Chains A and B, each alone.
Chain A
């Protein structure tokens, strides 16, 4: 494959493969709380094949317990820390579905693990990204959900985020609608509606807002899972962090989020993004899960244009590289595969290329002003838009919009330049005026 032959034509300032290691991320957490530890239980990927070798778990739960919990969760994906809300100490965890099955199996260690994250007398929320019906049906295949009886301290909420082929079909329909050059308004709107794409966007955003609300407004901890815990779960946990955590809205922070919540968390990029988004074949595991996530981020960016350090181009770039790239970042399905193929040694990281001043310049939002607050997007249908930058990219000229963008950059830069000059002259004047008396004395 190309990434293995690709050699960078640029000077690597910082190796992207080492930019976002779990052990470094944990150091940040350690400074805020001592209730969590870094476990090496999955060092050789034997406990959970899709998890990275290092995961963050409650301090009081030992590795043996984790091994037991892994047998009770889909794909061995036992609950791990996804996000720590420093404002109130609440956390968000993610996992695979519990393997309760039809006869309602339970696992004491699992219950203990997630209860360990609750404060005394406090309740938590379990957000199941599937509808109650789908979750019920999963029982027949050995899956299921946490029952009230076994998890009395948790409230369960079901949402309905779609999976795989439904999403892929939606994307195919949307792309087809966008490429339809007939001039009828009715046809366009009806095709847009029939694609259901914006409904998916809305459902995912709503669920993410719900998770964020539980944490920030209710002051409760949250566990998110769907079936495998590698798709809708990650959409929800990563979007909730964008809403809650200002650092995720910076360029570095967003890269870290993608690395931690998508790549290391075992989103199967190889399966989901095997075909081009414009291809209308439907391999079984193909699904625009990551694209939907980026679309949701774009929607929030539209509503808070000054709160993100990156701009739309940055998101489009990530979309492109997730599907086809000369870099190794989005290759493979999980950390185990990546280690086996020695990707860090044999390929170049996207981050290495992106995090150079000349690239960052195009990806930086000139309006950015750090905003330390939680940002609540509106999820009303009237507030959500089609992401033209991706879906209409080849169908409309963006010349006028690009020129306006350049004008905006110009205005901002001109202002900066002026402010610098003002400061410079102020200093000059201040120096003069302190010198003056000395000069005048003789």
Chain B
């Protein structure tokens, strides 16, 4: 079966397949947190590294497969040879960590060096998106790309209007390479003002509109830092801010939010950059909000991952490690900044100009999260896509650099977008009814930001994307996610709630921020709750859906008989979020995470069948062993854990015992 399967996988990728298939047999996959391991075979295709568990192992878990996309691999490490073989540790950008032991060192080296070659694409054309073909025709592909229309989005906000206009000043990226071509500026900002202002801003990123709060005519604008140094000023830039201020009659001043810590901004002055001097700009209120830079964030995440990857981690070390990593502190800082922005706009009705250094990392975080707090539309599935498209993709968050798409400068890599997703997740925990999407949606987006399977996130800015002709040569993630929309719905979502609470006012007391286990331990199944409320309710909704159609069918048949139904379908008060039940839900993969980016339906089905089989098997096993006390099923594992206990006792007579049991339990099989 494995052989056939491998052939199939490879033939499917044949158009890009340049390496000979490399089945390495007798590979052990070690569990990250326990002493368990499984045996199997390793396959390497042009796009994936695949581990197929050998079926002889244990009938209950036959054929478990792990698919790892090359682009997801962040690092491969070959450890020193042990008695059992050569260990190979692979860390992925979606936080999967796999530990293989390859029996023969030569094989291990082969895998290692092949992976190293595959991991470091040097040009965009090598990325998966350019070979990925979901069997769509050109028209379907084009429709996919048309799904998100930023012009329409600005119209939705009420722009252009009497105070804001579309400018063509950046046509052909003449003024700013990293901005999109279509930009919105105040009516009173003339071309010379814009061009002048852009010359006074880092990378030419002059102040432009990113969100318009129609109710108070207040604007959220974004830019990069001014090139003010210690004393330089620019009249056009001052006029630009003046124009933004004048466009809002509700407030006499605008806020200028510098999202950096004050110290960083001061240091920038020495390099001829810096921040706005309140004396030179009339009617501004200047504010630092203290979000750290990309390097601090990168180190912070590394520390976090190191802590949570520790085996037999104690509670104390976990909490200390969580604190020392600073990760949650950063998440809180971003959220605090977004709340400040949302308050200034919605409560004070003031316009706000947000910047950091280049205006594409912290600025993107704060603007998008702030808009999410202000506007319920961004809390829907479609709206969230629009938000990402607008504040992240079009305004030039450097996805290629930050996500390390090509072999580049490791100092440019940073989990800025991951932080944004996490901030959103923290909000969904506080407001379970405010979001149309569930956690799965966020996880899936994160998966594909790094998969390079779709064109959306490739490159650093729109100009680069046009040069790469992504719309012609790759597919859009948004269309794919939209087609799977049912998978990502939050069953608790209530449009009525959003109507009543259009602006979210989260609390940022420290205990509201939790460790996002489902993100950072996505693939460590033993860590997850064994039952999920989300899944249970989604299944129930599915049933409800079926019941509704059955009910209608029954009514019709009764009416054909000329009899009035004893009960009618109209009477039950449907839940408020009724609109979600209009379509039956498609079957969902059984895993918590929607699976590695398996790209062909056949394989998906294959996996699903497998997983269902596994669950069934487990249930069967348990019932069996309930009937027969020392049944044959599961003897293997029982013996194994008994061995562990034995060993434990012998050691124990002399010294304090290690937490062997907690490890065993950490991976205790799901028995329900």
A residues touching B (Cβ–Cβ < 8 Å)?
A: 87-89, 131-132, 148, 155-158, 178, 181, 183-190, 192-193, 196, 198-199, 202, 206, 209-210, 213-214, 217-219, 302-307, 367, 371-386, 388, 392, 395-397, 400-401, 403-404, 407-408, 410-412, 414-415, 417-419, 421-422, 424-426, 428-429, 432, 436
Contact = CB atoms under 8 A, between A and B. Distances in A.
B547 A422 contact: yes
A189 B527 contact: no
Contacts of B565: 425, 428
A193 B313 CA distance: 14
B497 interface: yes
B79 interface: no
A404 B492 contact: yes
Interface in B592-627: 622, 625-626
Nearest to A391: B511
B662 A426 contact: no
Contacts of B514: 385
Interface of B: 33, 308, 313-320, 322-323, 326, 328-329, 332, 430-434, 491-492, 494, 497, 507-515, 517, 521, 526-533, 536-537, 540-541, 543-544, 547-548, 550-551, 554-555, 557-558, 561, 563, 565-567, 569, 572-577, 622, 625-626, 629-630, 638, 641-642, 645, 648-649, 652-653, 656-657, 659, 661-662, 664-666, 668-672
A378 B672 contact: no
Nearest to A246: B672
Contacts of B543: 415, 419
Given A382-B517, A424-B567, A306 B507 contact: no
B33 A424 contact: no
A427 to B, nearest CB: 9
Nearest to B547: A418
B511 A392 contact: yes
A400 B432 contact: yes
A219 B652 CA distance: 21
Given A131-B656, A304-B529, A384-B315, A376 B671 contact: yes
A306 B531 contact: yes
B566 A425 contact: yes
B248 to A, nearest CB: 30
B557 A429 contact: yes
Contact of B509 (A87, A183, A380, A384): A183
A155 B649 contact: yes
Contacts of A403: 432-433, 497
B532 A183 contact: no
Contacts of A382: 308, 313, 318, 515, 517, 521, 527
A421 B567 contact: yes
Contacts of A417: 572
Given A198-B319, A199-B315, A304-B672, A218 B652 contact: no
8 contacts: A155-B649, A157-B648, A157-B657, A196-B315, A206-B662, A375-B671, A375-B672, A377-B665
B638 A217 contact: yes
A123 to B, nearest CB: 10
B672 A218 contact: no
A381 B529 contact: no
A412 B508 contact: no
* Most-contacted residue by chain B among A89, A210, A214, A304 (CB, 10 A): A210
Given A189-B328, A198-B319, A425-B567, A213 B664 contact: yes
B510 A196 contact: no
A178 B511 contact: yes
A34 to B, nearest CB: 17
A371 B618 CA distance: 14
B228 to A, nearest CB: 31
B509 A396 contact: yes
A436 to B, nearest CB: 7
Nearest to A212: B665
Contacts of A189: 319-320, 322-323, 328, 510
Contacts of A418: 544, 547-548, 551, 569, 572
Contact of A302 (B529, B575, B652): B529
Contacts of A426: 554
Contact of B323 (A186, A217, A374, A410): A186
B432 A388 contact: no
Contacts of A302: 529
A202 to B, nearest CB: 5
B3 to A, nearest CB: 36
A190 B645 CA distance: 34
Contacts of B558: 425, 428-429, 432
Contacts of B569: 418, 421
Contacts of B329: 185-186
Nearest to B565: A425
Contact of B320 (A87, A193, A372): A193
B332 A185 contact: yes
A303 B530 contact: yes
A371 B626 CA distance: 13
A428 B563 contact: yes
A411 B318 contact: no
Contact of A428 (B492, B566, B638, B665): B566
A411 B665 contact: no
Given A218-B641, A382-B308, A425-B554, 14 more contacts: A185-B329, A189-B319, A189-B328, A198-B315, A210-B661, A217-B642, A367-B536, A375-B671, A378-B530, A378-B668, A380-B527, A384-B315, A415-B543, A428-B558
A378 B526 contact: yes
A193 B323 contact: yes
A190 B537 CA distance: 36
B661 A206 contact: yes
B508 to A, nearest CB: 7
A112 B544 CA distance: 59
A115 to B, nearest CB: 18
A239 B666 CA distance: 17
B313 A381 contact: yes
Given A186-B323, A218-B641, A381 B511 contact: no
Contact of B432 (A214, A375, A401, A432): A401
B671 to A, nearest CB: 5
B427 to A, nearest CB: 11
Q: Which 9 A-B pairs have the closest CB atoms?
A: A188-B510, A376-B668, A193-B319, A381-B318, A404-B432, A189-B323, A425-B554, A185-B329, A199-B315
B537 A411 contact: yes
Contacts of B561: 429, 432, 436
Nearest to A198: B315
A384 to B, nearest CB: 7
A305 B432 contact: no
Contacts of B316: 193, 196, 199
A307 B531 contact: yes
B297 to A, nearest CB: 15
Nearest to B538: A411
Given A305-B529, A306-B536, A408-B537, A185 B630 contact: no
Given A206-B662, A407-B494, A432-B561, A383 B517 contact: yes
A203 B625 CA distance: 29
A345 to B, nearest CB: 43
B313 A87 contact: no
Nearest to B661: A210
Contacts of A419: 543, 547
Contact of A404 (B433, B517, B527, B629): B433
A378 B652 contact: no
Contacts of B666: 378-380
Contacts of B662: 202, 206, 209, 379-380
Contacts of A202: 315, 662
* Most-contacted residue by chain B among A186, A206, A395 (CB, 10 A): A186
A411 B575 CA distance: 6
Nearest to B516: A382
A183 B547 CA distance: 49
A371 to B, nearest CB: 5
B315 A425 contact: no
Contacts of A422: 547, 550-551, 554
